[in-house]
Chains A and B, each alone.
Chain A
Amino acid sequence: MEINSLYQIHFNCELQTKEEVHAFIAEIVGQDNPMSRDEVIHHLNEREKVGSTLIAEHIMLPHIESDQLEKSQILFIRLANPIEAWDCQTKNICLVIVILLKKNESVNMKKRIALFTRSLADEEYLDRLLNSHEKEEFINKIIKY
């Protein structure tokens, strides 16, 4: 569901593993962009290889940049059930926030995304996101930023 052009929210997603999450992201990206499924998954895996994107307990922040993206987006994927084993080190993931960055994005848009990312340093904000169990409530929490 879209709440504005930048954010997209997917609530109660029945995904069991990291691979399923990656496939789910690839699917969404594929709908609006010329980027292939495999490429998206490849990018996500490459990012994971160089360093974990776990930003707080229960929250991942995968992010990719590509010239095959038509527009930049932030996806919220709220899992129906926590993923117990994301990988051998990362456990118990409840929320995945994906940043899709278009190559050579405008400075304005970059600033907007950067502002959002910075807000994730606020632990109270993260707690509110994690503890919002209703979709409407969740959306309200995000719009505040």
Chain B
Amino acid sequence: MEKSDRCNGHFPANCFLNCVLISNQGGKEMSSKSNYEQELLLFLSKNQGYVTSKELLEVLNVSQKTVYRLINKINNEYEDGPLIISERGRGYKLDYEKFISSQKSNDNDKDKEKQFTPSERRKRIMEELLLSSPKPINVYHLFSHYYVGDSVTFNDEQIMSEELKKYNLVLERKNRTLAILGEEVNIRKAIKDIIEIFNIIDIDDLKRNPKLNFNQYDVLFILDQLRKIEEDLNITIPYPYNVNIFSHLYILLSRTRIVPTRMFADEISKEEMENMERDILYPVAKVIVHNIEKYLNSPLPDIEVYFLYQYLVSSRMQGSHAITSTFSSEVIQVTKEYMEGMSINLGMDIDSQSIFIDLANHIKPMLNRLEHKIRVKNSLLSQIKVTYEEVFMGVKKVSELLSEKFNLPAINEDEIGFITLYFAKAIETGQHQRPIKTLIMCTTGIGTSELLKAKVSKKFPEIEIVDVVASRNTQMLKEKYADAELILSTVHIKEDVPIPYLLVSAMFTIDDQKRLQGKIEEVYHGN
């Protein structure tokens, strides 16, 4: 994903998109806040200037009082002065710097709390049970840290049991012990979902962040294995797939230390094994599992190679293996259906080859993830939903139709969120739109206009500069450049020009850039 030159805060949507595609910062702890707070912060972060309270209550669809209350609450919770600045007569504005830094620091605050809420307590207990499944653990031992009575214990068991059903797992109670029973794949999946830390880790941050409470030796070992995978295949594994593989390996290490491996009950068909052995990813998975055996000093069942292989196949990779233009007919069909469906849905042409290749490279591993029930957590889902609501709803609709047509498992919201970004990117970068043929003008056609040309072409890829001209004979322009759609000039033109025209300063200030953005939209709209 290319980083836009205009990513300077003045084009927040574009900027947001890039941030989403590149990093996993942001939404991590937002999901725990109430929706209104989150929407309010998002809306403010998308607006550079002041926003009136009227606008806010319209966007959030709440009362004036609620807006005041929300802003007070947010500001009170933030320690270093107000996060939202208010000014009489102008409205509200987000202190962007504080906003960004508060997002990073909030994660750490949670460590200070030693009191657990009921849902946190249940999560911690489930975590312990899952990691040692299928071994039973004494109920007294499980609940003793939390000082709760029998009725609470009983209630917790009911709730956990319901939660585990989603993963096809059973919570078994026997002689004052509890145990979780089920297939290994499902146990790993539940561990990954329940232990929230796996959803918010940042691979680059792992080595340095002591607050994460990971076993540092394991972390270094796994990071080393990730690097080996990347080296062997000559690829890079981007976020969030690297986190996914990291989590898988970390859980594997934790599980293997607690539970003897021979107790796994999963079975794989012969056909699937044969398919795997033909794949270039298979030897890599095999080597990594072998390294883990050496690290743990304990043998692992063959099925671990299969588990890891599935994670590799389901990851999007960037590099020589990854940039493939040969896709299976299923991938091609699904990708095309998405593009056609979204074209109709958004009412614009989406047929560029670059979108196709990008999207197909995502769809390919996605189909594998769906088949093997590997869920990649999309930590920005809530932000994507708010920012690209229309696109998201469109993708959701198309996904439902596709699932039916191609007989695929239901496509979950995390995946829909990822796909949304590909179409959002297409809209934002204007890849779906043709370039605007533009003339650049000043008195000589060589002074400020050449300078402007350099600046414009750097920042506005959607503008195709046809020529740089002098302002002497504007009347000739229409004849000579019949298809020109826009003139950008550093000088004021007195005569009537038969082509849309915009006066900008040679400095090409932010204000000029904004006006040009507006003009571009006008040109697209007028046609």
- A residues with a Cβ closer than 8 A to B are 47, 50-56, 61, 63-65, 99, 101, 110, 113-114, 117-118, 120-121
Q: Name 9 A/B residue pairs within 8 A (Cβ), A-sorted.
A: A50-B471, A51-B442, A56-B507, A63-B442, A64-B444, A65-B470, A113-B450, A117-B454, A120-B451
Is there contact, CB below 8 Å, between A54 and B505? yes
Complexed CA–CA distance, A117 and B445 (Å): 11
Q: Mark B354-398, 1 if CB is under 8 A from A, else 0.
A: 000000000000000000000000000000000000000000000
Q: Which residues of chain B are within 8 angstroms of A63 by Cβ–Cβ distance?
A: 442-444, 446-448
Tell me the smallest distance from the CB of A63 to a CB of chain B, in Å: 3
Is there contact, CB below 8 Å, between A117 and B450? yes
B506 interfacial contact with A, CB 8 Å: yes
Tell me the smallest distance from the CB of A88 to a CB of chain B, in Å: 15
Q: Which residues of chain B are within 8 angstroms of A114 by Cβ–Cβ distance?
A: 446, 450, 468
Of the candidates B443, B468, B503, B505, the one whose C-beta lies within 8 Å of that of A47 is B443
Which 9 A-B pairs have CB atoms at the shortest separation, nearest pair first? A63-B447, A121-B454, A117-B450, A50-B491, A118-B454, A51-B491, A65-B444, A114-B450, A55-B506
Report the number of A-B residue pairs with Cβ-Cβ less than 8 Å. Answer: 73
Beyond A50-B492, A51-B492, A65-B470, whether A117 also contacts B507 by CB under 8 A is: no
Complexed CA–CA distance, A110 and B448 (Å): 13
Q: Mark B88-104, 1 if CB is under 8 A from A, else 0.
A: 00000000000000000
Complexed CA–CA distance, A91 and B9 (Å): 27
Which residue of chain A is the closest to B471 with respect to CB atoms? A50
Which of B442, B450, B470, B491 is packed against the most chain A CB atoms within 10 Å? B450
Beyond A55-B451, A61-B448, A61-B451, whether A50 also contacts B506 by CB under 8 A is: no
Tell me the smallest distance from the CB of A113 to a CB of chain B, in Å: 6
Tell me the smallest distance from the CB of B250 to a CB of chain A, in Å: 44
Tell me the smallest distance from the CB of B271 to a CB of chain A, in Å: 60
Tell me the smallest distance from the CB of B238 to a CB of chain A, in Å: 30
Of the candidates B447, B453, B506, the one whose C-beta lies within 8 Å of that of A52 is B506
For window 476-514 of chain B, which residues contact chain A by CB distance below 8 Å?
Answer: 489-492, 503, 505-507
Q: Which residues of chain B are within 8 angstroms of A47 by Cβ–Cβ distance?
A: 443, 491
Of the candidates A51, A101, A120, the one whose C-beta lies within 8 Å of that of B490 is A51
Which of A61, A120, A121 is packed against the most chain B CB atoms within 10 Å? A121
Q: Which residues of chain A are within 8 angstroms of B471 by Cβ–Cβ distance?
A: 50
Of the candidates B446, B468, B491, B505, the one whose C-beta lies within 8 Å of that of A101 is B446
Is there contact, CB below 8 Å, between A61 and B503? no
User: Interface residue count for B (Cβ, 8 Å)?
Assistant: 23
Which of A51, A101, A113 is packed against the most chain B CB atoms within 10 Å? A51
Complexed CA–CA distance, A53 and B453 (Å): 15
Which residue of chain A is the closest to B468 with respect to CB atoms? A114
Q: Which residues of chain B are within 8 angstroms of A118 by Cβ–Cβ distance?
A: 450-451, 453-454
Of the candidates A54, A56, A117, A121, the one whose C-beta lies within 8 Å of that of B447 is A117
Tell me the smallest distance from the CB of A96 to a CB of chain B, in Å: 13
B455 interfacial contact with A, CB 8 Å: yes
Q: Which residues of chain B are within 8 angstroms of A110 by Cβ–Cβ distance?
A: 446
Tell me the smallest distance from the CB of B455 to a CB of chain A, in Å: 5
Is there contact, CB below 8 Å, between B444 and A101? yes
Which residue of chain B is the closest to A47 with respect to CB atoms? B443
Tell me the smallest distance from the CB of B473 to a CB of chain A, in Å: 13
Is there contact, CB below 8 Å, between A61 and B447? yes
Besides A55-B451, A61-B451, 12 other CB < 8 A contacts? Answer: A47-B443, A47-B491, A51-B490, A52-B505, A52-B506, A53-B490, A54-B507, A61-B447, A99-B446, A113-B446, A120-B454, A121-B455
Is there contact, CB below 8 Å, between A65 and B443? yes
Tell me the smallest distance from the CB of B503 to a CB of chain A, in Å: 7
B458 interfacial contact with A, CB 8 Å: yes
Which residue of chain B is the closest to A98 with respect to CB atoms? B447
Which residue of chain B is the closest to A97 with respect to CB atoms? B447
Q: Which residues of chain A are within 8 angstroms of B454 by Cβ–Cβ distance?
A: 117-118, 120-121
Which of A53, A61, A64, A118 is packed against the most chain B CB atoms within 10 Å? A53
Which residue of chain A is the closest to B503 with respect to CB atoms? A51
Q: Which residues of chain B are within 8 angstroms of A101 by Cβ–Cβ distance?
A: 444, 446-447
Which residue of chain B is the closest to A99 with respect to CB atoms? B447
Which residue of chain A is the closest to B447 with respect to CB atoms? A63
Q: Which residues of chain B are within 8 angstroms of A64 by Cβ–Cβ distance?
A: 443-444
Tell me the smallest distance from the CB of A83 to a CB of chain B, in Å: 17
Q: Which residues of chain B are within 8 angstroms of A54 by Cβ–Cβ distance?
A: 505-507
Q: Which residues of chain A are within 8 angstroms of B443 by Cβ–Cβ distance?
A: 47, 50, 63-65
Which residue of chain B is the closest to A55 with respect to CB atoms? B506
Complexed CA–CA distance, A63 and B458 (Å): 23
Which residue of chain B is the closest to A51 with respect to CB atoms? B491
Tell me the smallest distance from the CB of B47 to a CB of chain A, in Å: 27
Tell me the smallest distance from the CB of A54 to a CB of chain B, in Å: 6
Q: Which residues of chain B are within 8 angstroms of A121 by Cβ–Cβ distance?
A: 451, 454-455, 458
Which of B451, B454, B468, B492 is packed against the most chain A CB atoms within 10 Å? B451
Q: Mark B27-41, 1 if CB is under 8 A from A, else 0.
A: 000000000000000
Tell me the smallest distance from the CB of B3 to a CB of chain A, in Å: 18
Complexed CA–CA distance, A117 and B446 (Å): 8
Complexed CA–CA distance, A65 and B468 (Å): 15
For window 417-463 of chain B, which residues contact chain A by CB distance below 8 Å?
Answer: 442-444, 446-448, 450-451, 453-455, 458
Complexed CA–CA distance, A55 and B450 (Å): 12
Q: Which residues of chain A are within 8 angstroms of B489 by Cβ–Cβ distance?
A: 51
Q: Which residues of chain A are within 8 angstroms of B453 by Cβ–Cβ distance?
A: 118
Complexed CA–CA distance, A51 and B444 (Å): 13
Complexed CA–CA distance, A64 and B491 (Å): 13
Which residue of chain A is the closest to B458 with respect to CB atoms? A121
Complexed CA–CA distance, A53 and B450 (Å): 13
Complexed CA–CA distance, A42 and B4 (Å): 43
Which residue of chain A is the closest to B492 with respect to CB atoms? A50
For window 63-78 of chain B, which residues contact chain A by CB distance below 8 Å?
Answer: none
Q: Which residues of chain A are within 8 angstroms of B492 by Cβ–Cβ distance?
A: 50-51
Tell me the smallest distance from the CB of B182 to a CB of chain A, in Å: 61
